Structure 1
Amino acid sequence: MNKHLRSSDYLLFNVENRVARITLNRPDKRNALHPALLAELRDALLEADDRNDVNVVILEGAGKDFCAGYDLAGAYAGFKDGTPPWDESRYRTINKSVDDDCWNMEQTQKLNMVLFDMHKPVIAKVQGNCLAGGTDLALMCDFIICAENAKIGFPAARANGTPPIQMWMYHVGPQWAKRMMMTGDNLWGHEAVRIGLVLDAVPVEQLDDAVNELARRISFVDAELLSSHKRIINAALELQGARTLQRFAVEMDARAHLSQGPRRTQFKADMAEMGLKDALRKRDEPYGDGMVKAHWLNGEKGAE
């Protein structure tokens, strides 16, 4: 019996040869996130971190995508019909006030921060879409290996908010972080590796082998030494303000959620009138295919 992960509706968990494999298992929803899934993920990560037969963790998504973001189409609250089994008037409500929104997002952020705080290293295996909340997960991992044709970005930054987990700055520096946030454009995997957003990008048919080989090599190092390596480097990130920045990111995202700017106001009206799919299409239409087109990247072969 597992000590931390009692049961799981949304994940697969397996341990073999000192490697724990945690799989987001909502392929029909493109592995979209909601609080129940994130709570299970926290439990699975703690299970892997606590076990003596695990030295390294692989985090992946079932099906075609790593994770397409948060489930905005009804399951965001983590309940099957979208309605919690308690009196909502007695509790904080998202978007009711800046502080209420901050409080709620901080609870979600704590679930993601387990990736940063746990002692054992985590490799994100990214294929297909890694968007919005999916990047919150991937960029908190210690390594990202992606398919060359993976699509990585935060398109919600165009109208809906700013990343509540802000690790873009630490991966790519200020100019590229601003470039990605201020357009909401996406990068192909083969471009993401060139700006340092990911460790490596390989043809999709080679992705399993590349991730498994890195995990295999890491797994031969004792867990105590791996912990020393991870914790000293993450301490350096903290000295650069990484943890403080996460709190500030939540506060700025809450402020953005209450914005009455025309783009956000229009998106909320479109959601009410047309539904999520058409609201997203209308939001993103001015950006064409929504992909980064930096001159020095354009000379590379596009993703197929």
Structure 2
Amino acid sequence: MAFSFITYEVASRIATITLNRPEKRNALNGEMVVELRAAFQQAGKSEDVKVIVLKGNGEAFCAGADLAYLQQLQQNNYEENLADSRELMQLFLEIYELDKIVIAQVEGHAIAGGCGLVTVCDLSYVVPEALLGYTEVKIGFVPALVTVFLVRKIGEGRSRDLLLTGKLIAAEKAAKDGLITEVVPAASISEYVNKIAINLCTEAAANSLKVTKQLIGTVLDLPIKEGLEHAAALNAATRSHEDCKRGIAAFLNKEKLKW
């Protein structure tokens, strides 16, 4: 698929997906959502990709929904708006459930749907100058889709504070609340994120990353005893996987294994 609103590159088993509407502060529209879904699906299926980095071109990571796009939605009927909402829903869900690790590299403000993208990534590294928040209530909208993920990520209390007030918070506050992974200076964030991605590629087994991510995403839905039984089953299944056999053999032989 040819992309008009994003770019897609692969190097050293790292796929970099870049929001590429800097003149619109990388605001989301229907076409961009479709392209993002296609790019993540492509990366997910590619044997040449182990880790995915999501970033934005220009001063903003993503400013939320494009104004022209919002105006267009005003003309839609309920069924059309439901279909459109489901496209963004699928994008969030696909990132959240993807077998591969997704890292957000946030070098500017991430607002509304843009902050939603950050929320569903596995790891997120953000420059100190960036502001993050869900401002939907301030324009009479609702942060519906991201709520499902945010409550799981940071809890009900902090989610109420962010979603009901629509306030923007600094990166340091976002890190303290558990919304993002870490604050990294702008001068070093590209190198820092690349190092994290390379370490994941070379120092962790792909199957281990996949199964661990799946476990994190499902364990909260299960009663504790069912969760433990599910974890035990995954533990047992993983022991017979080729990655585990290689890893244990290398550990016992005191060999450095490059995944």
TM range (shorter): 0.7 to 0.9
**Contact persistence 1:147–1:190 (CA under 8 A):** no
Among 35, 49, 56, the alignment partner of 1:54 is: 49
Q: How does 1:141-160 map to 2 (within 5 A)?
A: 141-160=121-140
1:121 aligns with 2:104: no
1:205 and 2:200 matched:
no
CA distance in 2, matches of 1:10, 1:103: 21
Deviation at 1:170, TM superposition (A): 2.0
Counterpart Cα distance in 2 of 1:107 and 1:20 = 22
Measure, in 2, the Cα distance between the counterparts of 1:152 and 1:59: 16
Contact 2:33 2:87 in 1 (8 A): no
Residues 181-209 of structure 1 show CA distances to partners (whole Å, capped at 9, x for unaligned) of 12111111111111111110122222112
Q: Is the 8 A contact 1:158 1:182 kept in 2?
A: no
In structure 2, distance between residues paired with 1:11 and 1:100: 24
Cα root mean square deviation, aligned: 2.0
Amino acid at match of 1:130: A
- Per the alignment, in what secondary structure is the counterpart of residue 32 of structure 1? coil
Percent identity at matched positions?
Answer: 29
Instruction: Give the alignment's TM-score, normalised by structure 2.
Output: 0.78
Q: State the match for 1:43 in structure 2.
A: 38
Of the candidates 17, 22, 46, which is equivalent to residue 22 of structure 1? 17
* Among candidates 209, 214, 219, match of residue 231 of structure 1: 214
- Structure 1 residue 135 displacement after superposition: 1.4
Residue deviations 1:101-127 (CA, integer Å, cap 9, x gap): 444312331133210121101001112
Q: State the distance in 2 between where 1:237 and 1:117 align.
A: 14
Higher deviation after alignment, 216-225 or 38-47: 216-225
List per-residue Cα deviations over 1:246-297 (Å, max 9, x = no partner). Answer: xxxxxxxxxxxxxxxxxxxxxxxxxxxxxxxxxxxxxxxxxxxxxxxxxxxx
SS of the residue corresponding to residue 193 of structure 1 reads: helix
Deviation at 1:237, TM superposition (A): 4.3
Which residue is equivalent to 2:154? 172
Is the Cα–Cα contact under 8 Å of residues 34 and 87 in structure 2 kept in the other structure?
Answer: no
Contact 1:70–1:133 at 8 Å: present in 2 too? yes
Structure 1, gaps ≥5 residues long: 1-5, 84-92, 241-304
Structure number with the higher helix fraction is 2
Q: Which runs of 5+ in 2 are unaligned?
A: 224-259
Please report how far the alpha carbon of residue 159 of structure 1 lies from its aligned counterpart in structure 2 after TM superposition: 3.7
- Residue aligning to 1:71: 66
The answer for the alignment partner of 1:181 in structure 2 is 163
Runs of 4+ that moved beyond 3 A: 99-104, 237-240
